Structures are given as C-alpha cells and as structure tokens.
C-alpha cells in the first residue's frame, strides 16, 4: 500500500454555547465533513485521499476550516456548497480552490527562528 495522496482534516471543535469565538461545529463543520467524505468516495478517491475530523485547527475566526496535506493548503469558511469544487478541482485535478484559501498572513502559525530545524535550538515561542 502507500501513503495517502492527500489527507484532509476538518475542524470539528466544539465550545460552550455563548463562547464569543463560536466554533467550527457551531458553524456547520459536521455537514462539510460528511459531504467531503461522501463526494471523495463517489469520485473514486477511497484510500487515495482520506478525510478526517480534527480538533481545533486554531483558525476560528475564518469559519469552518479544512487543511489539505501534504500541500498545506488552508481553506476557511467552507460550506457544503463548496465541496464539489474542492473535490473536483483540488482532490482530482490537484488545483487548490484559491477563492477559499486563508491568506498566509492570516494563519496563526509562527515562523520558526532562523536556523531552526537544521540543527539549531529553538528560541522564544514560550508565550
């Protein structure tokens, strides 16, 4: 067998009702997850592409969040109406759906310090 060609993670985090941040679940991520699974299988992608639920992906402000690896393409505000396009364009043809991408500057990841990952020691980042 092999690695999956692509691996999608859909945020299905939940928060207490009334939390001002809301959550992907409150915004409908379960329906996005199910539509992605169903349509990826219908497109013949079973075991070529895998779709999984995930804990909080830390992009709450962007609506329902989906990340696609190994490309590390981040989609925000995804609805079930977007799923056909994600499957056909990105999963089948390898072209990310640019209109749904979260701009890199808006993602919450932090650049590593210079030299990191090449034998250096990380500094800071203990906020």
Residues 78 and 64: beta-carbon distance below 8 Å: yes
Q: Which window, 14-22, 24-32, 40-48, 77-85, contacts its own copies (CB under 8 A)?
A: 40-48
Among 19, 13, 4, 48, CA closest to 32: 13
Q: At closest approach, how far in Å is the CB of 117 from its own copies?
A: 4
Interaction between residue 106 and its own copies (CB under 8 A): yes
CA 65 to chain centre: 5
Nearer to its own copies, 9 or 27 (CB): 9
Q: Which residue has the tokens 């090449």?
A: 118
Q: At closest approach, how far in Å is the CB of 42 from its own copies?
A: 8
Residues 57 and 67: beta-carbon distance below 8 Å: yes
Burial 49-62 (b: 16+ CB within 10 A, else e): bbbeebeebebbeb
Which residues in 45-104 contact its own copies (CB under 8 A)? Answer: 45-48, 50, 52-58, 67, 69-72, 74, 92-94, 104
- The residues of the shown chain that bind its own copies, judged by CB under 8 A, are 1-5, 7, 9, 41, 43-48, 50, 52-58, 67, 69-72, 74, 92-94, 104-112, 116-119, 121-127
């Amino acid at each position: 067998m092999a690695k999956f060609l692509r691996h999608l993670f859909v945020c299905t985090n939940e928060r207490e009702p009334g939390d001002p941040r809301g959550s992907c679940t409150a915004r409908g991520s379960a329906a996005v997850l199910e539509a992605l699974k169903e349509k990826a299988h219908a497109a013949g992608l079973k075991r070529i592409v895998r779709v999984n639920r995930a804990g909080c992906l830390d992009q709450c402000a962007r609506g329902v969040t989906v990340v696609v690896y190994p490309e590390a393409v981040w989609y925000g505000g995804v609805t079930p109406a977007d799923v056909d396009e994600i499957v056909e364009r990105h999963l089948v043809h390898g072209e990310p759906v640019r209109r749904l991408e979260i701009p890199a500057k808006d993602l919450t990841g932090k650049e590593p310090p210079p030299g990191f990952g090449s034998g250096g020691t990380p500094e800071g980042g203990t906020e």
